[in-house]
Structure 1
Amino acid sequence: MFGLSELKQTRVYQEAFQEGEIAAKLATVPRLLGLGLTVEQIAQALELDVEEVSQAAQQQSAN
């Protein structure tokens, strides 16, 4: 039987988990921008690329 611990070791699970972590971080970008942080500060704090944060900021301003 395929248990939870074996599932967590699969590449598919690891990739999905990482994507979820990144999505959660990017979801916080608008709030941090609202607090007055710069894109560079947010990227450093969330351990993301400046480009990723810039894109998230642009999407937020488009909505």
Structure 2
Amino acid sequence: MFEIKLQETRVYREAKEEGRQEALEKVKLELIPRCLDYGISIEEVAQLLDLTIEQVEQIRLASEQDSSTSTL
């Protein structure tokens, strides 16, 4: 009856964009500890990844806690 493809629907496009944003955030979270390990400052990491200094600091602290509990 109607010839509408799934890719043409608003819901599909919104879900696809949401998935991209989630993947991007995951990558950012994985990059923060690596950048800091390379000696990049918290301010520089925040600027590079388009985050606030507070966000970078929170991830740094969480990463340190994770690594200290996994070595026990």
Give your verdict on TM over 0.5: yes
In structure 1, the residue matched to 2:50 is 47
In structure 1, the residue matched to 2:16 is 13
Map of 1:21-60 to 2, 5 A cutoff? Answer: 21-60=24-63
The alignment's TM-score, normalised by the length of structure 1, stands at 0.77
Tell me by how many angstroms 1:58 deviates.
0.6
In structure 1, the residue matched to 2:69 is none
Tell me by how many angstroms 1:57 deviates.
0.4
Unaligned runs of 5+ in 1: none
Percent identity between the two aligned chains: 28
Select the structure of larger CA radius of gyration: 2
Structure 2 CA distance for aligned equivalents of residues 27 and 44 of structure 1: 16
Greater relative contact order (CA < 8 Å, ≥ 6 in sequence): 1
Which residue identity is paired with 2:19? Answer: A
Q: Where does structure 1 differ by over 2 angstroms across 4 or more consecutive aligned residues?
A: none
Structure 2 CA distance for aligned equivalents of residues 29 and 56 of structure 1: 7
Tell me by how many angstroms 1:53 deviates.
1.0
Cα root mean square deviation, aligned: 1.6
Unaligned runs of 5+ in 2: 67-72
